[in-house]
Amino acid sequence: MTQTQTLPSRATASPADDLLTEAKIGPRDGAGRTAVVAMSGGVDSAVTALVMRERGYRVVGMNLRLFSPDDEDHRANPCCGIPAMDDARATCATIGVPFYAINMEVEFGAAVIDRFVDEYVAGRTPNPCLECNRHVKFRHLVHRARQLGADCLATGHYARIERGDPVSGEPHRLMRAVDGRKDQSYVLYTLTQEQLGFIQFPLGRLTKPEVRALARGFGLPVADKAESQEICFVGNRSYADFVAARRPEATRPGEIVTGDGTVLGQHRGLVHHTVGQRRGIGVAAPKPYFVLRLDTERNRLVVGGREQARAESLDIEQVSLTGGVWPSDPFEVAAVVRYRGAPAAATVALGAEDERTAQVTFAGDRGPIASPGQAVVLYGGDEVLGGGTIRAVGRRGEIKLEVSTA
């Protein structure tokens, strides 16, 4: 049986006590209220549970089990495997709150792993963490929290929510975190107004060093646990090897060509390449080549120069606008096409609302390197305005590249 430790009081937690202010963690408004906290087994979710308890909430820890205990490939994964679940359970025991593990193996496999493989085989570049947030984590955690009669769901994501006023119609606003190096708003753009009204991000005004200071000050067992850097289900393999093990046809060799069809060599399978790649293409040339696109119909790897690799425009689909309003006029944004990527000035023209499409046109000639399948997230300052999935990339001097999702 796990030994429950006594949580140190705030008076004995200095200097962590200096961080437990309303400006840092929010108001102490939890008396008589219940918060379900998503427990991943890491320091961020542990401190989230601690903060919600300090704010007066009755805390319930909840972990999503994404892999079977019998799955040798994933059971030891430090991010979402069995050790992570054990760490989450130990943290809840230390804090003195109940812990539940919910089996999401089937849902995660279908919505995230299978889609990841299908997208790579189709020549697209998926973001599995974003899809997990959209289809698994928030959908099911919010549902379970409501089933328990909880007043909110809190997670350890680095982002902020500025509360709107449902009565007057003022929307909730999703904002970047104070700690720009840890900001995770990019993978949260699909959150709906209903979800934003129910979710809390207690770490949004804290920096990572402050989070670790709180964990150490209160004696949490995961205070110095290292962060996971890789996609949880891939393990120690490369993305290409993971996909190839499930879809061997993705390793079929083919031609490496320029945009005009000049053959430069042979690739060993499109799955080994991604748009924007420069190293490891397999072409010896006086100037560097970049991967422009993966032509899955002809099994060709199309390459070109650096300037050809930059996007002039993007056609996007599955558009989600955080505020829920669908403007008819074009508007200016800072567009980001990869997690913690640099923003690029752009203009957005929305299509018909029922089609959920838009075109993003970049200012000047310094557009980002982008690939079909990636998410493009639209910012107005620190606010997340929305985003979508890249369907087609327009580049200077090249016919627009499109990879169908059908």
Residue 255 contacts residue 301 (beta carbons within 8 Å): yes
* Eight-state DSSP code of residue 352: -
Residue 175 phi, psi (nearest 5):
-125, 155
- DSSP-derived pairing of the beta strands 199-200 and 344-350: unpaired
Residue 386 makes CB contacts below 8 A (sequence gap 6+) with 189, 319, 320, 321, 322, 323, 377, 378
Query: 359: which strand partners?
Result: 315, 349
Look at the chain and count its residues: 406
* Residues with catalytic function: 132, 232
Neighbouring C-beta atoms of residue 345, cutoff 10 Å = 13
Residue 336 contacts residue 342 (beta carbons within 8 Å): yes
Query: 101: which strand partners?
Result: 63
| Alpha-carbon torsion (44, 110, 112, 248), positive or negative | positive
Q: Both tokens of residue 159?
A: 């982002």
Q: Which residues of 268-303 are buried (b: 16+ CB within 10 A; e: fewer)?
A: ebbbbbbbbbeeebeeeeeeebbbbbbbeeebbbbb
Q: Which residues of 82-106 are buried (b: 16+ CB within 10 A; e: fewer)?
A: bebbebbbbbbbbbebebeeeebbe
